[in-house]
Amino acid sequence: MNGERKITSSHRERAAVIYPRQSAMAQVRQHTESARSQYALADKAAALGWPRTSIEVTGADLGVSGKRGVPREGFTELVTRVCSGDAGAIFGIEITRLARSSADVARLAEFARITGTLLIGPDGVCDPADVNDRVLPGFKGTMGEMELHVMAQRLHASKRAAAGRGELRTPLPAGYVHDDAGDIVIDPGAGVQAAIRDLSAAFAACGSAYGVAGAFAGRRFPLRAYGGAWAGQLRWGTLTCARVLGVLKNACYAGAYVHGRYTSRRTVDPGGTVHTTITGRPRAEWPVLINDHHEGYITWADYLASEAKLAASRTNAGARPPREGGALCQGIIYCGSCGKPLRTSYHTGARPACECSRADRLTTPACRSVAAATVGDAVAGMLLDSLTPEQVALALAAADEVAGRHQRASRAAELAVERARYEADRAERAFSQVEPENRLVARSLEARWEARLTALAEAGQALQDARDALPPLPGRAELEKLAAGLPGLWHAPETSSKDRKRLLRTLIADVALLPEPGQAKVRIGIRWHTGATDELRVTRAIHTGTARRSPSPAVEMIRQLSPVTPAAELARQLNAAGMVTGNGRPFDAKAVQWIRHACHIPAPAPCHDGEISVAEAARQLGCSTGVIYYWIQAGQLDARRGPGNRLCITWNYPIQAACRDRVAASGHLSPAARRTAPRRR
């Protein structure tokens, strides 16, 4: 071998590392001869004097690309072995197989120069410590990188050319197959067609990917397998939200041929590792978009409508679509003080409230919260009241004005199309009248005709873009029918809260909770889609607990008479005065006692003169209340039941003295009375 004299005993004392690599798993499966020849390098290392026990094979990178930025476990291990000085030589089928990046090859060669590691390939032995040999790996690495770039550039150019004609065959989604001629056609399977069409219908009904997934609960959906043993085959599985989005965002179902929807982006983290991610491109940046390329399940207009509906449902992008809750203004109500959206919260009893309680703690003193029903009822009333015959007439007149404005906006584009069509027809007539023998003139007229046709196509596309940019307007008959049937539809029991929110948003743009000094009132601002604004001032809904609170005159009467009047007598006087509780019921003793407890009103003293309570007797004697209850039960103390079933004990000085003597003589109550000497048996 060329350069075999460069191998010394110090190299043979260290390990000989065999580094086989193939760029893809398809090469590993199909190009077995390449793998066999690379593994045969172990025999070459043995022939060069390395013991079999010192020969190691690092095959972790089989099927992994050698491009820069692709993580390769085997190459990382190889660099580690070189840096630690464990490797005496690296064997490879060729130097460029170590890496497709010249930077990686130069980095490995520099480490090998420092540690005295040889690079051995079919061309001979390369010693990176030799300046002449060090040039060779760098040159070959640069050539390998350039070769890869040129090959990729040519292949991508061919793919783009075929894609521009709509002829590049790519894996098709579920619902489409290639026929014998290579054209894209709808899958002949009735089950597959029904699943795709039902998905589109379900999304048109509910408007969200999660809703479609819920509608397909318990039903299987087709999926085209990409790669692996099932590559190209149709599999049936559960329809998830991600699969729903994949179908709705795929323009193939709208009959369009698209190439280049996704692109790869490379980033470098602070540690120097290169990461490659796949990101989607905006529709305006798609390299190839051919409409009406094949038969679609939906139209292109339906695809654009679905795309807009999905964008309007992306809550992580700031969208606030209507939900199923009972808060009518959810998603369109804002705080008039800080300008932030109000959060809808559901409290006990499923009572929604619109609250301006934000996590960033930037609320202002004028920020308010309100019951959702208070705002919803007021806004719904304003919406239905606006559908009077006079208001409907004004709305129809405004619709006519908007329609005329749209027509005037697209008129210039229509005139440009007519002018371009006239120029194209004129160029065609001039080309048709020229004599075929006059080739110079014919060639010039043909080029002019083609230029006019190109201008006509551009003008037509500009007209279509101008029409697509304008929102579609309902007809006059549709508006009249909607205005006549909206109140009945609104109050129908079959209409869900989500449907009412959609109806509300068709006319009202947003609602603002404006600052109001008083706490009992709410000031509501309404902005209509026409640009008009209205303002309402309504009374806040009274809390159920507050609404059931006892009237203030009854509480005041209890407060005045309670210290000297029992509860039963006080209830009789309240009923005689014609007063009722907060629930509208007559007063009784329990109702009076509850008001005393809630309002901290003292009750009449239960004990007469010469009587005390159980607690007071225990306090004076320094014992527990259990002792007092025992004496009463044993008849050692006289007591009676007073108001509230309380015990009232007859009490005077002789009784108190007798009780103290009883406490002093008790071994359980007085430590001094206990025996100190042990009991004799």
Q: Which residues are part of the catalytic machinery? A: 23
The beta-strand segments (E) located in 103-212 are: 118-121, 124-126, 176-178, 184-186
Q: How far apart are CA 459 and CA 412, in angstroms?
A: 10
Q: Is the dihedral of CA 458, 261, 296, 247 positive or negative?
A: negative
Q: Is 34 helix (H, G, I), strand (E, B) or coil?
A: helix
Is residue 269 within 8 A of residue 277, CB to CB? The reply is: no
Q: Which DSSP string corresponds to 187-215?
A: ---HHHHHHHHHHHHHHHHH-SHHHHHHH
In sequence order, the 6+-apart residues with CB closer than 8 A to the CB of 398 are 530
Residue 494: CB atoms within 10 A of its CB come to 6
Among candidate residues 535, 541, 545, the one with its CA nearest the CA of residue 520? 541
Report which secondary-structure segment, H or E, holds 321. none
Is residue 330 within 8 A of residue 322, CB to CB? The reply is: yes
φ/ψ of residue 450, rounded to 5: -65, -40
Among candidate residues 322, 171, 318, 168, the one with its CA nearest the CA of residue 250? 171
Would you give the distance in Å from CA 396 to the centre of its chain? 39
Is residue 537 within 8 A of residue 359, CB to CB? The reply is: no
Task: Please count the helices (runs of H) and the strands (runs of E) in the chain.
Answer: 23, 23
Q: Which amino acid is at 92?
A: G
Report which secondary-structure segment, H or E, holds 606. none
Tokens 């371009």, residue?
420
Please state the length of the chain.
681
CA 89-94-99 angle, to 5 degrees, is 90
Q: Which DSSP string corresponds to 467-489?
A: HHHSPP---HHHHHHHHHHHHHH
Among candidate residues 540, 507, 512, the one with its CA nearest the CA of residue 525? 512
Q: Which amino acid is at 376?
A: G
Is residue 369 within 8 A of residue 333, CB to CB? The reply is: no
Q: Which amino acid is at 105?
A: V
